[in-house]
């Protein structure tokens, strides 16, 4: 998770860019953004920071949030009206047809829209594309078929939602995915077009803290030096493979093998997960720290641990795997999962089948061989780490190609019949803006007249 108030933000302030009408700029859109923290909002923050740090202007468009304070960001954040659904789904749902956004963006020289969510943000971007002539890139980060199946119970409604999702995605000028597995998932829900793999980076520097510093920042927990420490970082959601972890740890306990397990993060399933740990009698060996936003404190846990457990088949990129690698910590992953892309078993990571028995057997075999775990951790650092600077630099180079292709008309084939609706809505939004501006100027003129009349009365 991203600490938006930490050192990265300070670094971004040093490179703050003043945006104006003459300067071309990248418009980044996403449905979630701090104070809502997830992997995609983290990606958007890092895109904005690193694009601006590299001298390429960028700003963010996202829904309003009652708890938001954007004053600390070194780049502009444009908020548009939304509906607060945090109690139900954890997010604020924005209005994708927003005159306020059109008004703001027409003052900026947008050269490219980059949406990081295929629902509201892409709908808004398609509408804006009809007002502001610029290409639209969309990055597919998450397995939305899983999210839709969790949110919608009726099969026919699930299919309708997926069809609408694919239609929205297909209307973009270029599609990026964060891993090849994410691309295959996108195809599995009906997408027929091309895509480019553009992996995300991590904002954890590649370094290990000293043993003394790691112990200092992880103090207060029962972590005997002679026992292996296993770690999980991320949202506490069952679909992250958490039951596999807990059942495997229970199997180790039944074999009289001692260990410590630390879960870092929060989530809607957190209380159920904690109760399951209690039901298994693992409270003295399994700890929950809650979310940790400070990057050095998080690095301390990566450095203090012997093995990172991430048996998730939901995640499309597994940024925490690269964060662990940055600190020289190897991961246990499911064979064939997106998170395991680039991982070779017993070289730069460890691979298991998707069940607790497979994880338990592996942990029992390697937990006493700390030299082996450190060796594959160093290899993971050399071969898996990718910084946000390098990731965004690659994206920025691709932006130039997309902009040039768009000018040449090479993306005209992606236009959909539904684009006519967006063109009409864009015309309506533009008209609403003109009426508002006219009313505002008329009001100003009338006020001036009345003031002058008062001077002569």
Q: Which domains does the chain have, with CATH numbers?
A: 7-202+390-436 (3.40.50.2000), 211-386 (3.40.50.2000)
Q: Which residue has the higher pLDDT, 311 or 420?
A: 311
Residue 451 has pLDDT above 70, yes or no: no
The DSSP annotation for 230-263 comes to EEEES---GGGTHHHHHHHHHHHHHTT---EEEE
Residue 85 has pLDDT above 60, yes or no: no
Say if residues 124 and 425 touch (Cβ distance below 8 Å). Answer: no
Which range among 1-15, 176-190, 294-308, 388-402 shows the weakest confidence by mean pLDDT? 1-15
Which range among 120-134, 236-250, 344-358 shows the weakest confidence by mean pLDDT? 120-134
Q: Which residue has the tokens 């026919």?
A: 156
Say if residues 80 and 99 touch (Cβ distance below 8 Å). Answer: no
At residue 154, the pLDDT reads 75
Residue 310 has pLDDT above 60, yes or no: yes
- 67's torsion region: left (phi>0), alpha (psi -120 to 50) or beta? alpha
Q: Quick one: 227 exposed, middle or buried, by C-beta within 10 A (0-12, 13-18, 19+)?
A: middle
Tokens standing for 362?
Answer: 């592996």
The pTM (predicted TM-score) of the whole model is 0.81
Say if residues 116 and 32 touch (Cβ distance below 8 Å). Answer: no
At residue 35, the pLDDT reads 87
Tokens standing for 85?
Answer: 């659904």
Q: pLDDT tens-digit profile of 24-63?
A: 899 999 998 998 878 899 999 999 999 999 999 999 999 9
Which range among 68-77, 94-103, 210-219 shows the weakest confidence by mean pLDDT? 94-103
Question: How many whole angstroms separate alpha carbon 346 and alpha carbon 363?
Answer: 13
Backbone angles phi, psi at 417, to 5 degrees: -55, -35
Question: How many whole angstroms separate alpha carbon 46 and alpha carbon 453?
Answer: 54
Mean pLDDT of 194-218: 95
At residue 373, the pLDDT reads 98
Mean pLDDT of 289-317: 95
Residue 3 has pLDDT above 50, yes or no: no
The DSSP annotation for 46-103 comes to HHHHHHHHTT--EEEEEE--TT--GGG-SS-EEEE-EEEEHHHHSEEEE-SS-HHHHH
At residue 44, the pLDDT reads 97
Which residues lie below 8 Å from residue 10, measured CB to CB, with a gap of 6+? none
Calculate the average pLDDT of the chain: 86
Instruction: Give the three-class secondary structure for 366.
Output: helix
Tokens standing for 225?
Answer: 């030096």
Which range among 48-57, 77-86, 353-362 shows the weakest confidence by mean pLDDT? 77-86
Mean pLDDT of 366-394: 97
């Amino acid at each position: 998770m991203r600490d938006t108030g930490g050192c990265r933000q300070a670094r971004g302030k040093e490179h703050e860019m003043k945006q104006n009408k003459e300067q071309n700029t990248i418009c980044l859109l996403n449905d979630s953004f701090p104070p809502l923290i997830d992997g995609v909002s983290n990606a958007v923050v890092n895109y904005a920071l690193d694009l601006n740090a590299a001298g390429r202007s960028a700003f963010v468009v996202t829904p309003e949030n009652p708890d938001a304070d954007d004053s600390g960001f070194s780049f502009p954040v444009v908020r548009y009206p939304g509906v607060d659904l945090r109690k139900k789904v954890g997010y604020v749902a924005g209005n994708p047809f927003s005159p306020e956004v059109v008004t703001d963006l027409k003052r900026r020289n947008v050269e490219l829209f980059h949406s990081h969510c295929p629902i509201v943000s892409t709908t808004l971007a398609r509408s804006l594309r009809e007002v502001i002539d610029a290409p639209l890139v969309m990055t597919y980060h998450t397995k939305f078929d899983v999210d839709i199946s969790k949110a919608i119970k009726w099969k026919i409604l699930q299919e309708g939602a997926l069809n609408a999702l694919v239609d929205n995605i297909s209307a973009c000028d270029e599609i990026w995915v964060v891993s090849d597995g994410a691309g295959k998932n996108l195809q599995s829900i009906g997408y027929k077009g091309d895509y480019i793999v553009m992996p995300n980076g991590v904002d954890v520097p590649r370094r290990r803290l000293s043993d003394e510093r790691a112990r200092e920042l992880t103090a207060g927990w029962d972590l005997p030096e002679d026992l292996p420490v296993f770690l999980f970082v991320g949202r506490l959601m069952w679909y992250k493979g958490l039951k596999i972890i807990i059942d495997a740890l229970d199997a180790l306990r039944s074999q009289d093998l001692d260990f410590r397990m630390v879960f870092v993060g929060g989530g809607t399933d957190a209380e159920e997960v904690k109760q399951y740990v209690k039901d298994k009698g693992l409270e003295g060996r399994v700890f929950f720290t809650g979310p940790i936003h400070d990057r050095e404190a998080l690095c301390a846990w990566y450095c203090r641990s012997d093995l990172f457990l991430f048996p998730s088949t939901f995640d499309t990129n597994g940024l925490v795997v690269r964060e662990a690698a940055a600190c020289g910590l190897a991961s246990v992953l499911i064979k064939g999962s997106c998170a395991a892309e680039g991982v070779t078993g017993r070289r730069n990571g460890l691979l298991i089948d998707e069940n607790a028995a497979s994880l338990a057997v592996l942990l029992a075999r390697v937990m006493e061989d700390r030299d082996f775990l450190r060796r594959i951790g160093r290899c993971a650092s050399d071969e898996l780490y990718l910084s946000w600077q390098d990731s965004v630099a690659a994206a920025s180079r691709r932006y130039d190609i997309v902009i040039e292709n768009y000018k040449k008309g090479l993306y005209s084939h992606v236009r959909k019949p539904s684009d006519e609706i967006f063109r009409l809505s864009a015309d309506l939004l533009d008209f609403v803006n003109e009426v508002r501006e006219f009313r505002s100027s008329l009001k100003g003129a009338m006020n001036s007249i009345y003031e002058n009349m008062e001077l002569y009365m």
